Amino acid sequence: MDTAHPPRRSFADARALAPVVWEVFGTDRRITTVDRLTGGTRKGVYRVVLDDATSAVVYRWSPDEDYWSGLLPDGHDDPADPFSHASGLDLLEGATRRLEAVGARVPRLLFTDRGRGPRPVELAVAEDVRGGTLESLLERDPAAGRRVLAELAAVLRRMHTHRAPAFGRVGWLDGGGAPTGDSCERAYRDRALVNLATAVAHDPRAAAAEGALTEKLDALYARVRPRAELGVVHGELGPDHVLVGPDGEPVLIDVEGLLYADAEVEHCWLRMRFGPHRAALHEPALDPRRLAFYRYAMHLDLVGGPLRIAAGDFPDRQWMLEIADHHLRQALAYRA
């Protein structure tokens, strides 16, 4: 894609969002403010404030909101693939139902629209959780943040001890879809190889070390012994993916990619994203060989994925390149 002349993207405004908001709050209400929240790459997320200060969050799925459009490999839209593009209303609804069933708090869905009739894009209206992120709470009030962390640890234990039917995307399997038959570790190995190939094509350091990087991945994978127990895993959980509810409870967001997978997958993300706070989320019964393998595989994923999206018109391209650089250096220096 020619990033010198990026495509013009059309985002939503009050006029576009009014019909779906009226479905929830009535046609006598007026939208006073629409803020498109930043940071997402797959869907538009809008905070809508009404004339009586009531607010809601609107999710909007369309090609204009999806910065991955045109950048993904073949097969990215196969719903059976656990690593297919984690975007869309079906995945959000399926993940929301499963998380609520295992006792994890998520924003309540107030209305959904699959784009039939006058609105050609998928939309959802959700509860607006206004307590801010756990990330910001830990910065401004560490004691309050630690209380939310303790609750989050209990939530994660409930998620991880739920016995899953098979490895795969929750929205797909709970909807009656057939599993691929892959093990969790095999799927992560195969994805790491795809992302390594992207890194090799874009970065001379990865190209020069391709053999060593592949050998290290294979060696770590070979140490993992088969295991049947899988739980419910967010997959990319950081303190910016946890909101603080009105009673101080943790509220998980960005859940479309919810997986039935190894708990170690979650804990690798927690290690990367929670920094000095990760000890509060520790689980003692984790498999150190799986942790070592998934940590390395994720370093490779976080080279290939950011390099791929940086080839498009994502507004903070430099940030993506810095993520890719950091994780490539981590992969090159990795010692299990």
3-state secondary structure of 257: coil
d(CA 319, CA 53): 35
The pLDDT tens digits along the chain (336 residues) read 344 445 577 788 899 899 999 999 999 999 999 999 876 778 889 999 999 999 999 998 887 787 766 666 655 567 788 887 667 898 999 999 999 999 999 999 999 988 765 556 889 999 999 999 999 999 999 999 999 999 999 999 999 999 999 999 999 999 999 998 899 999 999 999 999 999 999 999 999 999 999 999 999 999 999 998 999 999 999 999 999 999 999 999 999 999 999 999 999 999 999 999 999 999 989 999 999 999 999 999 999 989 988 877 777 889 899 999 999 999 999 987
Question: Is residue 19 within a helix (H) or strand (E), and if so which, with residue range?
Answer: helix 14-25
CA distances from 126 to 92, 113, 144, 313 (A): 11, 12, 25, 28
d(CA 317, CA 294): 26
Domains of the chain: residue spans and CATH:
14-127 (3.30.200.20), 134-332 (3.90.1200.10)
d(CA 60, CA 65): 7
Both tokens of residue 302? 């976080």
Q: Which residues contact 208 (CB under 8 A, 6 or more apart)?
A: none
Cβ proximity of 41 and 67 under 8 Å: yes
pTM: 0.90
Torsion, Cα 312 272 190 62, to 10 degrees, reads: -40
Q: How many CA atoms lie within 13 A of 244 on its CB side?
A: 19
Distance of CA 240 to the CA centre of its chain: 11
d(CA 11, CA 149): 35
Both tokens of residue 262? 């190894």
Q: Nearest to residue 193, comparing CAs of 70, 331, 292, 310? A: 331
Question: Is residue 155 within a helix (H) or strand (E), and if so which, with residue range?
Answer: helix 142-161
